[in-house]
Amino acid sequence: MHGSTMIYLFAVPMMFQGFGVYLVPLMCGARNIAFPRLNAFSYYIYLGGGLLLWIGLFLNIGVDVGWFAYVPLSGPQFSPGKRADFWAQMITFTEVSALGVAVCIATTILRYRAPGMTLNRMPFFCGKSW
């Protein structure tokens, strides 16, 4: 659970979703991020996946396949039952939320720029990576 919490519930959401959603519209000169409802939906999917991941731990159906669910420890011989399946579904929820935010950020960068703001004039955080 430590690895899952640090990577899927803290590092990706904090760096990519949190900073990206806040900083990209400011750097582009956009009034708001593209697709705000998709952005809100992504947050609620992330919240639900994270809560269910930890609720599963407290209900004794949490992950028991190691940090990254490598094949020997996540197979049926070492992890009987549905624990690995439950973990994989909750991680899928958090990754779907990251994908939704990625669509919002990419659309904001490519379509919602201020007039006269080309990709070459944008800050390196948003423009030079395209």
Alpha-carbon span 97 to 52, nearest angstrom:
14
pLDDT tier at 130 (50, 70, 90 boundaries)? Answer: low
> Residue 77: which pLDDT band, with cuts at 50, 70 and 90?
confident
Q: Which DSSP state fits 76?
A: T
Mean pLDDT of 107-123: 90
Residues in the chain: 130
State whether the Cα torsion 121-124-128-130 is positive or negative: negative
Reading the block at residue 10, the tokens are 């803290």
pTM score of the predicted model = 0.84
pLDDT score, position 98: 92
Span 11-28, pLDDT tens digits:
988 887 888 899 999 999
